[in-house]
Chains A and B, each alone.
Chain A
């Protein structure tokens, strides 16, 4: 297994987007996805597409990376679009056979679905390609602060997310080691019938769980020894600092939103 499978999203190049505060990037991505669902005509679609293309340009990330984000979901998109074309009704009918029919509304709806899926995936890829996972965790912690008013344990949630993200590569390496150790003891993971392969999962999974939970116990003990209290307010080593570029990004987001509202009103 390749560790990059899980964390292959981040692309370490220099760009304007990479240097932005992760909070504004997270907010921009969320609002952009919401705006996608307000697109109701061609001009609005073009407007949001231009905004996305500008973000792609500013990110300095190769187009191959964006295709990597789309590729795993492309089959799902194609299936959804195909069903939309064949089983929708409304408008002029071009072709039909049995319960299947190609209609104008079906074609339009499938185009909208395709557009939305591609744009949403690409917007997410812009975020994950230009922001490291721990920065996303920091941004989340900041965004979730209002939830403390309704007694949501925000500190604990962000701590669990940070620990989980930190230990994915470690547990991945450990899984690889366990598999190699079991191979050295004679297990062939790629051979045998179904039952044999199923049996071979057990020598991987049980050590994986035992080691992980031991690590959890050791980590908890170490945290207690360092004076961590889940209920106490805490300071932050990594500070999120707002810069002038972040203000420009906020302005850009405002322009995109206002532009979309105007297009919806006047067209």
Chain B
């Protein structure tokens, strides 16, 4: 019998693997302290946004799922050296759970906007902001409220501090990705 061809090419696999490694390394980069907010800007979730933007909905999702697979196994790949199942089961697990869907939502939304001719950076930023910031904070707040027995509104309020930093990360992600797309090395061959 003829074996069914699996979809990923070798080049796609190596690109996904590099993206997983980069997301892990962004977690090891020390955060940038904001003077007026107690939470520093940590770059790891920017890697999640870039995965969706750069690799598209399919490869980006595979990269993030593989990364979180390693985290669940106990490797300390999350920012601050965290890892293991407690990071998923604890109060901040909602954010990490939302990461599973961010590249898919970003990638599909970008394809849709390009289809309708909206190729400006502002459109791209709004898509990244909607799915990479608002969606993640929303899902994280729901889980946080459930775990800490508080209301969704107060959990959302506690997230306001992070939205500012995440917005900056979305800006950086759009800026970097729009430059990277012009480089030939990012054309995936099959």
Contact = CB atoms under 8 A, between A and B. Distances in A.
A73 to B, nearest CB: 6
B149 A87 contact: yes
Interface in A156-205: 156-157, 159-165, 167-168, 171-172, 175, 194, 197-198, 201-202, 205
A156 B105 CA distance: 24
A212 B54 CA distance: 13
Contact of A83 (B8, B50, B149): B149
Contact of A217 (B66, B149, B185): B185
A242 interface: no
Nearest to B30: A1
A38 to B, nearest CB: 15
B118 interface: no
A76 B90 contact: yes
Interface stretch (A49-57, A125-133, A244-252, A254-262): A125-133
Contacts, number: 197
A120 B21 contact: no
A171 B76 contact: no
Contacts of B32: 194, 197-198, 201
B117 interface: no
A117 B10 CA distance: 39
A175 B23 CA distance: 13
Given A72-B81, A87-B150, A121-B84, A228 B180 contact: no
B13 to A, nearest CB: 5
Contacts of A83: 91, 147-150
A151 B81 CA distance: 34
B90 A77 contact: yes
B85 A33 contact: yes
Nearest to B87: A73
Interface in A42-95: 68-69, 72-73, 76-77, 79-80, 83-84, 87-88
Given A73-B90, A194-B35, A160 B13 contact: yes
B98 interface: no
Contacts of A219: 14
Given A6-B25, A80-B91, A171-B25, A164 B84 contact: no
B17 A160 contact: yes
B160 interface: no
A220 B74 contact: no
A235 interface: no
Contact of B74 (A117, A127, A164, A205): A127
| Interface range on chain A (Cβ under 8 Å from partner) | 35 or more
Given A161-B66, A198-B172, A231 B3 contact: yes
B183 A210 contact: yes
B147 A171 contact: no
Interface residues of B, number: 65
B6 interface: yes
Interface in B86-114: 86-87, 89-92
A230 B25 contact: no
A165 B53 CA distance: 23
Given A76-B92, A80-B91, A160-B66, A8 B29 contact: no
B70 interface: yes
Given A198-B32, A210-B183, A216-B17, A224 B82 contact: no
Given A76-B90, A84-B149, A216-B15, A124 B84 contact: yes
A108 interface: no
B24 interface: yes
A133 B172 contact: no
29 contacts: A5-B76, A6-B25, A6-B75, A79-B148, A83-B148, A83-B150, A88-B149, A120-B89, A124-B84, A124-B86, A125-B74, A125-B84, A133-B75, A140-B73, A157-B66, A160-B20, A161-B66, A164-B24, A165-B70, A171-B18, A194-B168, A198-B171, A202-B172, A206-B176, A208-B22, A212-B21, A213-B186, A216-B18, A220-B10
